[in-house]
Each structure stands twice: as C-alpha cells, then as structure tokens.
Copies of this chain bind each other. A is one copy, B any other.
Amino acid sequence: MEMKTTRLEAFSDGVLAIIITIMVLELKVPHAVELAALKPVLPVLLSYVLSFIYVGIYWNNHHHLFQATEQVSGRILWANLHLLFWLSLFPFTTAWMGENHLAAIPTAIYGFVLLMAAIAYLILERAIIAKQGRESFLALALGKDWKGKLSSALYVAAIPLAFINSWIASAFYVFAALLWLIPDPRIERKLEKREG
C-alpha cells in the first residue's frame, strides 16, 4: 500500500507547487521603467512573501505528517483534498489584501481562509490518527498540538481585529507564521529516536 501514500503526496506536491507559483502572476508587470513603478507592486510582493511562507509551512508539515503515515483511507483522501481546497484560495485572498493595502475586509477574509486551512489540517491529522490508532507513533508525536491550537486562536482573534487595526491583524498572521517556520520538532525528534 506504500504507493498509495506516494501518489497522494505527489498530487498534493503538484497542487502546492502550483499554488505557490501562480501567486506570482498577481505581480502585474508595470508599464513604466522607473523604480517608482515598483511602488504599487510592493504591497502585493509583501503579501506574496507572507503567503509563500505559509504554503511553505504547509508543505513542510504535510511532508512530516505523511512521513509518519503508512496507509491511506478514503476519509484521508478527502480530508487532504479539503485542505488543498482552502490552500487553493490563498492566491485570491493574497491578491485582494495586497492590492488594497490591508483594507479591513480583505484582511479579515485572508485570516478566515488561514483559519479554515488550519481547521482542515487538524481534520486531516484526526483522519490519519483514526486510521492508525490513538496509540500510534503519529498520535504520540503530535501530542496536544499546542502550535496548531495557538495559531488557530491567533487567526480567530485577528479576524475582528482587522476592522479595528488591520496592521495589528497582519502582525498576528506574521507571528503565527513564525511559530511554524521551524519544522515540527516533535515528529522529527521521535523519528530520530525510533531509528536510534
């Protein structure tokens, strides 16, 4: 059944590779040739950087998650597609927020899609644990998953905050990304132990 996981990973890699790359199409090539022509591109570029990092985080975590997964069920396949669906909306919300210099509604919607992706990731984790058993390697490695919970809490807080001060809301998104930038040491440590 090894191949099953491989193909799910290959398909997810394909979708994530496209999401991360088509966001760059929103960087509209300016007609002018002065440095000032880059000024309207800058906020789009900054939200591109943030979303690039987010897709990178999801790819890294997805990689670690399936490193510890052996079998795939129908429920896991659909939980994975559900996650990819929310990630596929990143280019849209990134462009809307970037082109409007952090206006309240686009910034809140950006956080909403981040939140839905985080929830979809939790559902995927649960689906895998349901298949492998509560005493499985993965269930123990994930433990209480405080990172997943804390970042979800940050998105929930940032959505109403966007209407008061969208810069603070964005700072929350950046902070939640920083939380995840380091690949999950819980699984990595356990993997090393298992091999040792």
Contact = CB atoms under 8 A, between A and B. Distances in A.
A161 interface: no
Contacts of A96: 29-30, 33
Interface stretch (A17-25, A123-131, A138-146): A17-25
Nearest to A182: B74
Interface residues of A, number: 59
Contacts of A63: 4, 7-8, 77
B21 A99 contact: no
A168 interface: no
Interface in A1-24: 3-4, 7-11, 13-22, 24
B183 A33 contact: no
Given A22-B25, A33-B103, A56-B81, A13 B16 contact: no
A33 B104 contact: yes
A15 B17 CA distance: 5
A122 interface: no
B85 A52 contact: yes
